[in-house]
Structure 1
Amino acid sequence: MSLYNPDTGAIPDGIPYIALLSQRDLSLQVPVNYVNLPGVSLTPACFAHQRYEDAAAAKCFSNLLATGFRRFEIDLYWDVTRRLWSLCPVELGSTASLSDSTASDPGQSAQTSLASLASGSLAGRAKDHIGTPTSNVIARQTTAESSSSSAEASQTPTPSLNIPSISTTATLSAGTVTTAVATGNAATTSNALSAESSAGTLIEAGPYTCTTGLNFDLFTDILSTYLNNTETDLNATTRYLIMNMHAAAPASDPTASAHTPSTDSLPRDSNLLSSILATNNSAYLYTPTKLQSQRADLNASGSWFSVARASQPDAAYYLVNQDGGHASTQDGWPSESFIELQSAERLLAGYGTVDPQLRAYNYSGDAALIFPQGSLQAPRDVASSADGIQTGCFYQSGVEALSSVNSSWAISNVSDASSPYLPEEASNLTSCGIAPMLNTTLDNVTAAENYQPYQAFAYATIWAWGQGEPRNNSDAADDGEDDDDDFRCAALNATQGRWQAADCTRTHHGACRIAHQPYQWQISGSKGYYMKVSDGCGDNTTFATPRTALENTYLVAAWREYLQDHHDDDDNDDNDELLWLNFNDLDASTCWVIGQNTTCPYLPQRRDVDREVVVPTVAAVIVFVLAALTVFVKCAANRQSSRRKRRRRDDGWDYEGVPS
């Protein structure tokens, strides 16, 4: 059985699948630090009842990966008695039976040490633009370095804004046996705390119930299986992992503070977090070493500006330093298109909080693979209520310069499970350019017990499409609309602030981006059909579509302001609240693309030989149809003439042909 094994309903399907896929594609060229994505803390989502069981945890991890969460925060506990990173907050081994020199976890025998990783070459899986593995094998990982200075990623400070809101080896066990262990302050241990305990044995330690098989290795194995299983999926996405480092509490007093491990008992070699991550996930890791190298020379082979334009991160989002023909940046990040489609990598890992007991941990040993604290997240102080985000939103009327709207890596914890407007809060945070981080248990159930409330939270962060969108033509017909296959163009609804599939043959104003700036929008000077509305965009503007939630929020504000200022104009119908966006599925149904004449990138490309066969065939069909029409018209004329002669009348009847 696969370690990644979500419930069937947890996997996006139908309209949610299309919405998530198209939203991923919209942001492919935006640097990843400006694409705010839903996140979840695994402790409240998977271990709400203080039960740390490997089988239930595997189901929980799988469901959260499937439902649409993109950021994961995991609490790791260094269990000095077993020399491993556990997800259980309590030491589960007998310290008397282990020594510093010989203690090891059998499950880690197959791990690759950081030293051997640095000296070896890593085979990769390069992919083409539609996610299909290619035959070209490329190095997926740069050489690991021990210097921590090489892994430092610069972080632009986030300004304080008070802005009103716009409305494949692990073994799983069921774990059925419960063994009593020392509780309270009793300084005793039992055979249940030996390193040889069965992974299926449930060990009670104070308020916690744990199995010995639940460790970081299990999580990374599931993550690796998920990344491998979805490697060629259309909606394959990048994931972010934040690791909080703790020291496990002693078994003699599970609720007490953990002891500070001695230097000799701290993690080393194969027990370093980077080594465990690299064991099964090295091929997927985008690393600090690679980021620093690419920032230093943007034009170098394999760097951001050396690839096709569709994979280049939009330079409007970061400062580019030009020194002659040499381009570099200090604050830029690559786009998901570059990381995933060019480098074939899908995982970024960084440190979260670190207990004081682990201050002496060997961070330099991880520096090549794990991002420093603060590199992948910037907590944002936010005040919210039933009316929306009161303070902390990155949208501010009249403030459109990117330097004043620095939402880089912004996150905010959502931790009030009793809040009746939890999905609305997730939606509002997303619209404000802030990644909502779910840090509470929903409906008093874990994601293993019921994935649905967690899926609803993740889906609430879909910022582009409205409820039930993008609808298809049959849905439009069911709603009383004409079923004419014209509902293939995206339009922004001013009231909802979200998008809907609209009839491409109707006339609306269009969204025009000013000077390619993310947050500066103008409404076209005239209305037009979808394929013609770009003519109405003025000088230094282009017909465009929002690519992030915050870009959309700025466009919503500009569109509402325009409607308010022009509500008395003759050419503005009171009911015309739709604004054309440069987004459509005209080339292939349900394949939404940016650009009026863009082809779907997920369809097999037609060969010239195919076109040579098709064109003559089509021409022959046209000639045949024209010939048939000619005969038909002549016959009809002859019949009319014959009738007129027989009836001897001068008046005839009108022939209704094809309109010119």
Structure 2
Amino acid sequence: MSLYGPDAGAVPRGIAFISLLSQRDLSLQLPINYVTVPGVSLTAACFPNKRYEDATAARCISNLLATGFRRIEADIYWDTSRRLWSLCPVQLGNTSTLSNSTMTTAEPSSRSTSSAMLASGQLTNRGAIKEARATFANGAQRRQDSSLSLTIPTAPADSTAASSVLPSVSSTATLTAGASGTSVVATSSASGTSPPDSSQNLLIEVGPYSCTPSADFKLLTTVLSGYLEDTETDLNATTRYLILNLHAAAPASDPSGSPQKPATSALPQQGDLISSIISSNNSIYLYTPTELLAERASLNYTETSSASSSYYQPDTAYFTVTVVNNQQTTSDSWPSEGYIELGKAKRLLTTYGTVDPQMTGYNFSGDAAYLFPPGYLQATPQVTTKAGAVTGGCFFQPGVDHISAINSSWSTTTIDATTQQSDILPLVANLTSCGISALLNTTLNNIDAATDYTPYQAYAYAANWAWSDGEPRNTSVSGSKVSCAALNATSGRWQATDCAQTHYGACRIGHTPYKWQISSQQGHYTNLDEGCPYNTTFAVPRTALENSYLLAAWRDYRKITYGESDPMLWLNFNDLSTDACWVRGQNGSCPYLPTKSDAQGGQILVPTVAAIIVFVLAALTIFVKCAANRQSARSKRRRVDDRWDYEGVPS
């Protein structure tokens, strides 16, 4: 049974789901190193009371993954007494040698790990996953299962929406740290997390730490694997980044002291290497340094590979390309999320974070083909903040719009306990607008994400840069079709707007990410492309930093154009083809459904009766015109922008 089991309310639903999906789709052509994502430290979010219990850890990690955290930073400790990587900072030794006289009965875990309904309709049945993976490896795209419907789920009645302040928590429970010395407490494992033997159920108290032996690195990778598997055919599939800080576990005799450097013979061997543990659960999802180097050396291959699509090749405006003997190469590019997910069927990148001096003897070369080197997926610009605002280090620089001068690649900064809790959410939003990913390294509301996920969900949602709160709205309001996106100069965010209204439009200059111009005239959404000046194109921002530059251009234009009171600016983004499916291009069609379906109650549904009719007709077809119709069915593919043979959803 999968260990991935978030609280139902942690999974994005309704408008929140549509907002996340549309924002992800916008950035599919952008190199992943320029796309800002929320990050979190597991130590701060899951173990603030130094209690490392397997069931609680599994739920906490599940909630963080479900709410939208895409950078997961984990502290892992090499326990020489058990020869394994642990989440617990202290060595636990062999629990079978502990005296039974020290064991007492503990209250069972108040919350068990359970499965939750996922936040989208799955378009590929679970039994076909392995076959689909093999198909991807042979260069073919995943087939869409037309017998299943695409559903935009509604929010549960008891869910708490993210707001501009961290939600208050109802629980006042606290955990008491264990006394000095070692004691063992018998506790129950949550459903789906039962370890293989009874000794793994023990909650061992060593100094200030309380740990179950099964709260180890394998638990983390198993939960992550469950998440990736459960969402690999979901519409909200996204890449995840795992950053690992390596430590040596402290001895039980001195749990709060400095750990000793393990002897060479006590260091991890081949089967204990981090790459071995990750690969055992997540090898099919892993995008590796080996793949990156091969694709950088031959961009020609990636552009013509049947496993990829030129539509999802990363925008070359973001990196340099060198041509030698008709061979395109690059030294600084990263693939786009669309290429990784749709072309490669990969969703996980791993790297080292910090490495303690005690672990410098670790066999890093043994992981080199699977884990990126330290700092490879993270840059730390000099950022200064005050009262939730960014006062220095922002990559938005008025008057500077060339990509080489705005190198925000992998830029990440940490929000820790020095930031007041009331300033955290505004700071996340402002850092994101500056092109900087915010990594949370403090406990919100003094409570972990297993006990209450809502403040962490609010943090993750604060990193969403496109839509205003409550947007995009339902497409039918008082008989009008609010199916077109517009940027509000006052809020800096987008709103769903009636396409028949008249506004100016956003025009991208050439193919540059940060140069924008306002259309020469106002117009309806459907004819706005005619209003963009020469060498410009009616467009939509694809990242938070692109949006910041467009917002500045729009505000400057309104100042220059004396008396311009209209705050709305058309963006080339709409759901005219299919309600709640937002696409670029005035004639763009939804890649997730073959035809437009009615959206009622926030859902896009293929009616059950129609599905039954299709099933019956399909059966008759098999018996009457089997061979001919199968051939015809294989030839039917959807195209997006006349380039991508779209047959499924991100893996």
User: Which bracket does the TM-score occupy, shorter chain normalised?
Assistant: 0.7 to 0.9
Q: 1:325 to 1:2 in 2, by over 3 A?
A: same
**Corresponding residue of 2:225:** 224
**Corresponding residue of 2:74:** 74
**Corresponding residue of 2:485:** 490
User: In structure 1, how many angstroms separate the alpha carbons of the residues matched to 2:424 and 2:402?
Assistant: 31
Match of 1:364, SS state, is helix
Runs of 4+ in 1 over 2 A off after TM superposition: 94-97, 132-136, 138-141, 178-183, 188-192, 301-309, 416-419
State the Cα distance separating 1:604 from its structure 2 match: 2.8
State the Cα distance separating 1:536 from its structure 2 match: 1.0
**Corresponding residue of 2:319:** 318
Deviations 1:100-133 (A, max 9, x none): xxxxxxxxxxxxxxxxxxxxxxxxxxx99xxx96
State the Cα distance separating 1:421 from its structure 2 match: 1.8
Asked if structure 2 preserves the Cα contact closer than 8 Å seen for 1:182 and 1:252, the reply is no
Match of 2:354, SS state, is strand
**Corresponding residue of 1:467:** 469
Q: 1:196 to 1:488 in 2, by over 3 A?
A: closer
**Corresponding residue of 2:439:** 437
User: In structure 1, how many angstroms separate the alpha carbons of the residues matched to 2:44 and 2:494?
Assistant: 33
Q: 1:179 to 1:311 in 2, by over 3 A?
A: closer
**Corresponding residue of 2:9:** 9
User: In structure 1, how many angstroms separate the alpha carbons of the residues matched to 2:178 and 2:547?
Assistant: 55
User: In structure 2, how many angstroms separate the alpha carbons of the residues matched to 1:535 and 1:304?
Assistant: 35
Asked if structure 2 preserves the Cα contact closer than 8 Å seen for 1:304 and 1:312, the reply is no
Match of 2:278, SS state, is helix
**Corresponding residue of 1:173:** none
User: In structure 1, how many angstroms separate the alpha carbons of the residues matched to 2:537 and 2:255?
Assistant: 62
**Corresponding residue of 2:205:** 204
User: In structure 1, how many angstroms separate the alpha carbons of the residues matched to 2:20 and 2:262?
Assistant: 45
Match of 1:587, SS state, is strand
Asked if structure 2 preserves the Cα contact closer than 8 Å seen for 1:179 and 1:203, the reply is no
2:567 is the counterpart of 1:577: yes
User: In structure 2, how many angstroms separate the alpha carbons of the residues matched to 1:325 and 1:605?
Assistant: 42
Deviations 1:612-654 (A, max 9, x none): xxxxxxxxxxxxxxxxxxxxxxxxxxxxxxxxxxxxxxxxxxx
The AA in structure 1 aligned to 2:473 is: R
Deviations 1:211-241 (A, max 9, x none): 1010000110111011001111011111000
User: In structure 1, how many angstroms separate the alpha carbons of the residues matched to 2:224 and 2:454?
Assistant: 21
Q: 1:376 to 1:461 in 2, by over 3 A?
A: same
Q: 1:52 to 1:314 in 2, by over 3 A?
A: same
**Corresponding residue of 1:565:** 560
Asked if structure 2 preserves the Cα contact closer than 8 Å seen for 1:509 and 1:527, the reply is yes
Match of 2:464, SS state, is coil
State the Cα distance separating 1:200 from its structure 2 match: 1.9
**Corresponding residue of 1:509:** 504
User: In structure 2, how many angstroms separate the alpha carbons of the residues matched to 1:423 and 1:15?
Assistant: 20
Q: 1:94 to 1:4 in 2, by over 3 A?
A: closer
2:583 is the counterpart of 1:593: yes
**Corresponding residue of 2:537:** 542
User: In structure 2, how many angstroms separate the alpha carbons of the residues matched to 1:18 and 1:554?
Assistant: 24
User: In structure 1, how many angstroms separate the alpha carbons of the residues matched to 2:198 and 2:133?
Assistant: 45
5+ residue gaps, structure 1, are: 98-126, 142-177, 478-482, 611-660
State the Cα distance separating 1:203 from its structure 2 match: 0.9
Within 5 Å, give how 1:222-621 maps onto structure 2. Answer: 222-300=223-301, 307-386=308-387, 388-416=389-417, 418-474=420-476, 476-477=477-478, 483-484=479-480, 486-568=481-563, 572=564, 574=565, 576-604=566-594
State the Cα distance separating 1:374 from its structure 2 match: 1.0
The AA in structure 2 aligned to 1:543 is: F
5+ residue gaps, structure 2, are: 98-122, 139-175, 187-195, 597-609, 611-651
User: In structure 1, how many angstroms separate the alpha carbons of the residues matched to 2:362 and 2:253?
Assistant: 24
State the Cα distance separating 1:199 from its structure 2 match: 1.8
The AA in structure 2 aligned to 1:15 is: I
Match of 1:246, SS state, is strand
State the Cα distance separating 1:41 from its structure 2 match: 0.4
Match of 2:506, SS state, is strand
**Corresponding residue of 2:633:** none
Q: 1:52 to 1:303 in 2, by over 3 A?
A: farther
Q: 1:303 to 1:283 in 2, by over 3 A?
A: farther
Deviations 1:226-261 (A, max 9, x none): 100111101111100000000001100001001100
State the Cα distance separating 1:324 from its structure 2 match: 3.1
Within 5 Å, give how 1:48-59 maps onto structure 2. Answer: 48-59=48-59
CA RMSD of aligned residues (A): 2.7
User: In structure 1, how many angstroms separate the alpha carbons of the residues matched to 2:132 and 2:307?
Assistant: 21
State the Cα distance separating 1:307 from its structure 2 match: 3.5
Asked if structure 2 preserves the Cα contact closer than 8 Å seen for 1:313 and 1:334, the reply is yes
Q: Percent identity?
A: 56
Match of 1:137, SS state, is helix
**Corresponding residue of 2:41:** 41
